[in-house]
Amino acid sequence: MAACRFRRSIAAQLSHVLEMPPEKLIKSICAVPVSKKGQEADFQLFMSSVQDANSMDNSRGDIQLQAQNLAKKLKCDAVVSKIGTGEGTVNFTVNRELLAKTVLQQVFEDGPQYGLKSELFTGLPPQKIVIEFSSPNIAKKFHVGHLRSTIIGLLGAGFQRFGSEEKLQSNPLQHLFEVYIQVNKASEEEEDIKKQAQDFFRKLELHEEQAISLWQHFRDVSIEEYIRMYKRLGVCFDEYSGESDYQEKSQEVIKMLDIKGLLKKTKEGIGIVHLSENENQAVVMRSDGTSLYLTSVLKTDKNQISHFQQVFQILRLLGYGWTERCQHLPFGRVQGMKTRKGEVVFLEDVLDEACSMVLEKSASAKTTKELDNPLETAERIGLAALIIQDFKGLLSSDYQFSWDRVLQSRGDTGVFLQYTHARLYSLEEICGTVNRVSHIDMACLQDPLAVSLIQHLLRYDEILHQSSQDLQPKHIVNYLLKLSHLTAAAHKRLHVKGSVPELAEARLCLFQAVRTILGSGMKLLGITPVNKM
């Protein structure tokens, strides 16, 4: 990894002065973010990260003085061409031609794996990660909320009253949704319906044939719909399993709690678990013996934070040590989303709307190219727009949705990322591609805009590592948006076509490296890059 080579070189010199092992300094040496004004330094060491171990000064409180003193003791070499100080930092500027050659060569060697092979990831043990893909309810249309993350009893009772087998065959999920609306409304006025729903769910857990058969019917037509919708999102599964598949296991959990002496029952027969001495408790079983969400369901909405706290507390009470490594990643809610048709916000409607609006904008744009499959391209652009809007901020943050903002072609949007990728692909179609870096004259890449792009590519492994640590995709999103803005500025001034061969090839090599990282970063976010738009 390009950045690793430079970090190791800088760490080796720092090690002698600070009398610290170089491996302890590697992660304290960070690539400098590119600012609007650009910057000279490529790496910086924050003195606060080594202050406790640094005994070279008695005045440990004066970090700025320590930085200046440390900088004086360091020397430039074949890698580092300049050493200076910032606010509490020691700054390192790498030999410009070496920087360009090392970064570009690494990108060409690693391809889409660039950044992932960094030593920042060494030492991380193999991990098993549970990922919840939206978990839509059986017989319920994809809601827009499912883009980010049991009505069975109610639906079972409702279908027996409002359902039509004929409508179920012609438009299954739509009919089941209508049944759900009807029975949900009726349940507000008729208490018996809620009892019927509970009875249906109880029959399911007891594996009564009629209830199981009806549920299986609902499940089959629902999964057919989900397969189609997931395909639009670029997701496919080898197996579908739902809450109902864990009914027996839920009962095993309840038995385990009982054996451990953790299950207590109220006067009404409801099963509870005391979580602490201050009478915090979790309800795990209904009075009729059927299980509740807590024994079978994982949710990720931020309103379910207390749900996960209870799950983890119960696991700790059961003696599972690995619970300490469990983490709940909550997400916020989308506010203000609606289609031009009205207030309904099914995910299918939103995807259709995004695709339709992209096609409309493309038809009116002067620069739109003739596409082999305009509908597929529009779908990919629309989905990119939705994903980037969703991932730009903290996952736990609510945000206000705006179609105009989401589909801007020049703003911080998924459309802009796709446009940048397509533009770079077009450049390669017109001017050709570079197969190797060794013969490129790196002196041709010393323009400030070219240097800024190379410096930004240098930071990619740190961005990936940061996202892997706090599980926030916003770092990757903002990195790619910044990369696209830097590319737009460079593409405008650093012409390939019409330049002398040495200069043209060097710039083409840089833009090709940028497209590689832009494309791989988009794929990490679940976006399929487009080559034309």
Q: For 367-385, write each residue's pLDDT tens digit.
A: 667 777 888 999 999 999 9
Confidence of residue 226 (pLDDT cuts 50, 70, 90): confident
Lowest mean pLDDT of 129-138, 327-336, 364-373, 441-450, name the range. 129-138
Taking the C-alpha atoms of residue 94 and residue 312, their distance in angstroms, rounded to an integer, is 48
More confident call, 177 vs 433: 433
Quick check: 176 pLDDT over 60? Answer: yes
* Amino acid 392: pLDDT: 92
Instruction: Report whether pLDDT(97) > 70.
Output: yes
Q: What is the mean pLDDT of the chain?
A: 85
Amino acid at 120: L
Lowest mean pLDDT among 284-293, 335-344, 490-499: 335-344
Residue pointed to by tokens 């609306």: 181
Q: Which of 127-131, 357-361, 384-388 has the highest mean pLDDT?
A: 384-388
Helical (H) or strand (E) element with 140: none
- Which two structure tokens, joined as six digits, stand for 143? 């809601």
> Looking at this protein, which amino acid is placed at residue 364?
S
**Does the structure show a pLDDT above 80 at 338?**
no
Closest Cα partner for 516 from 432, 420, 441? 420
Residue 95 falls in which region: left (phi positive, over 0), alpha (psi -120 to 50) or beta? beta
pLDDT of 76 over the 60 cut: yes
Tokens of 472: 């926030």
Query: Is-contact 533 419, C-beta < 8 A?
Result: yes
The confidence score (pLDDT) of residue 387 equals: 92
State how far the Cα of 252 lies from the Cα of 263, in Å rounded to an integer: 12
Residue 165, H or E segment: helix 165-170
pLDDT value for 354:
85
Look at residue 220 and give its three-state secondary structure.
Answer: helix
pLDDT of residue 512: 98
Instruction: Give the model's pLDDT for residue 60.
Output: 46
Instruction: Give pLDDT tens digits for 497-519.
Output: 999 999 999 999 999 999 999 99
Which pLDDT belongs to residue 221? 80
Angle formed by the axes of helices 474-493 and 448-458, nearest 10°: 160
143, pLDDT greater than 60: no
Q: How far, CA to CA in Å, does 392 sit from each of 117, 171, 195, 302, 485? A: 25, 37, 44, 17, 15
pLDDT at 54: 45
Average pLDDT over residues 10-36: 91
Cα(423)–Cα(419) distance, rounded to whole angstroms? 6
Segment of 246-260, 332-346, 513-527 carrying the highest mean pLDDT: 513-527
Give CA angle at 63 (60, 68), nearest 5°.
Answer: 110
Least confident range from 56-70, 133-147, 264-278: namely 133-147
142 compared with 3, residue with greater pLDDT: 3
Question: Which pLDDT band, with edges at 50, 70 and 90, does 223 fall under?
Answer: confident
Predicted confidence (pLDDT) per residue in 277-295, tens digit: 666 888 888 887 777 766 6
* 410 compared with 457, residue with greater pLDDT: 457
Residue 391 has phi, psi (to 5 degrees) of -100, 0
Q: What confidence tens digit (pLDDT) does each residue in 230-281 have?
A: 888 888 877 777 666 666 788 888 899 999 999 999 988 899 998 876 668 8
Q: How confident is the model at residue 46 (pLDDT cuts 50, 70, 90)?
A: very high
For residues 24 and 15, give the distance between their C-alpha atoms in angstroms, rounded to a whole number.
Answer: 9
- The mean pLDDT value for 46-62 works out to 63
- Amino acid symbol at 44: Q
In which band, very low, low, confident or very high, does the pLDDT at 526 lie, cut at 50, 70 and 90?
very high
Secondary structure class of 271 (helix, strand, coil): strand
Report the amino acid identity of residue 58.
N
Tell me which of 149 and 499 has the higher pLDDT.
499
Q: What percent of the chain has pLDDT over 90?
A: 41
Could you tell me what percent of the chain has a pLDDT over 70? 87
234's enclosing H/E stretch is none
Rounded Cα gap, residues 297 and 243, in angstroms = 7
- What's the N-to-C CA distance of the chain in angstroms? 33
- Give the model's confidence band at 364: pLDDT under 50 very low, under 70 low, under 90 confident, else very high: confident
366's enclosing H/E stretch is: none
pLDDT attached to residue 33: 94
Confidence of residue 80 (pLDDT cuts 50, 70, 90): very high
Q: Which of 87, 85, 20 lies closest to 50, judged by CA? A: 20
DSSP 25: T
- Domains of the chain, start order: 2-94 (3.30.1360.70), 150-240 (no CATH), 245-330 (no CATH), 348-524 (1.10.730.10)
